[in-house]
Structure 1
Amino acid sequence: MTKIRSTTVLAIVHDGKVAIGADGQATMGNTVAKSNVRKVRKLQNGKIAVGFAGSTADAFTLIERFEDKLNSYGGNMKRAAIELAKDWRTDRFLRKLEAMMIAATKEEVLIISGTGDVLEPDNQIAAIGSGSMYAQAAATALKKHAPQLSAEEMVREGLNIAADICIYTNHNLVIENLE
């Protein structure tokens, strides 16, 4: 799997709801270029939420392609993700894109990568980016030991913990909810 630095994206499905969030930091090398980039979007009239890590231009290209696949497959997220991953792996242009994506509905969450992977993570918690392991560890603990929290509260806390540890992640969070 491609190692993507410079952001953290976290999604959790919990109690029939999904929250997906990301920090807002964009870096160029070791310099913060912008602190409030919006890396989370809703698609399909708010039925699907996506978040991206990696090159912004590459990520927007992937989101556009993913949206085309969703339209081609009647909004079936898993099928669209698999078809995007196939294209991403075999298309000369797409193969050079440096990004990863999380896509989520209120029932499931997927990680989509350029190596052809479409992963359905354990515990319905997905994380990508430089701070992903910190955010995922925090979210896993919260889901297990504080199930009274909402999906949004878990995402917010997981991202804040990642921002406290990862220098490529900041506290300017954008979180989207699907119910």
Structure 2
Amino acid sequence: MSEFPGWHGTTIVAVRKGGEVVVAGDGQVSLGQTVIKGTARKVRRLQPGGAEIVAGFAGSTADAFTLLERLEAKLEATPGQLQRACVELAKDWRTDKYLQKLEAMLIVTDGAELYVVTGAGDVLEPEHDVTAIGSGGNYALAAARALIDQDLSAEDIARRAMAIAADICVYTNGSLTVERIGPR
């Protein structure tokens, strides 16, 4: 079996402040030490059954799209119940042999609730109204946590946190996709 270099990329940060949630993600996808694409769109607006959901993903793109499709199906089956849909997705992800092999993470919000969903069966709510995932996630998280008490909007915090992550993490760039969603 030959060894292929790992795909790296993605920093996603979510900030909840002032009645809105902003999810921002960079556009870089790397294979080993080579940038394959600089403008990937890893933050998406979903509208299952007319609901408004924003999701950002880190990890394998194909795996993330599979999870987004499954999440949309869960949201359609449980309208208006983001937490329940995320828990159901996490249960399936942990127990289904096919899904267990998926390598991705999600940040999901409806403007009122904010979750990180992982393949380990976790559905996590951030403690400090900030969360981040991906290769530069810890840098973006630290930056956003440091900025959250400043007189800045959620979007300004997310953009500044992503800029700091891009300055530190070689798998993160400054080509951002930013989606904003208000409270329900």
Q: TM-score w.r.t. structure 1 length?
A: 0.94
Identity, % of aligned pairs? 52
Question: What amino acid sits opposite 1:40 in the alignment?
Answer: V
Post-superposition CA distance 1:100-139 (Å, at most 9, x none): 0000122221000000000001111110001111101111
Q: State the 4+ residue runs in structure 1 displaced beyond 3 angstroms.
A: none
Q: In 2, distance between residues paired with 1:64 and 1:126? A: 22
Which of 22, 29, 38 is equivalent to 1:26?
A: 29
Asked if 1 retains the 8 angstrom alpha-carbon contact of 2:82 and 2:113, the reply is no
SS in 2 for 1:107: coil
> Which 5+ residue runs of structure 1 have no aligned equivalent?
none
SS in 2 for 1:123: coil
1:159 aligns with 2:156: no
Asked if 2 retains the 8 angstrom alpha-carbon contact of 1:13 and 1:108, the reply is no
Which of 113, 117, 128 is equivalent to 2:118?
A: 113
> Which structure 2 residues correspond to residues 1-179 of structure 1 after superposition, within 5 A?
5-44=8-47, 45=50, 47-144=52-149, 146=150, 148-179=151-182
RMSD, matched Cα: 1.2
SS in 2 for 1:69: helix
CA radius of gyration, larger in: 2
Residue 5 of structure 1: how far off its partner (Å): 4.5
Q: In 2, distance between residues paired with 1:140 and 1:157? A: 11
Q: In 2, distance between residues paired with 1:20 and 1:30? A: 27
Question: What amino acid sits opposite 1:166 in the alignment?
Answer: C
> Which 5+ residue runs of structure 2 have no aligned equivalent?
1-6
User: How many residues align structurally?
Assistant: 174
- 2:3 alignment counterpart: none
Question: What amino acid sits opposite 1:55 in the alignment?
Answer: S
Q: In 2, distance between residues paired with 1:39 and 1:97? A: 16
Residue 46 of structure 1: how far off its partner (Å): 6.3
Distance verdict in 2 for CA 1:52–1:61, change over 3 Å: same
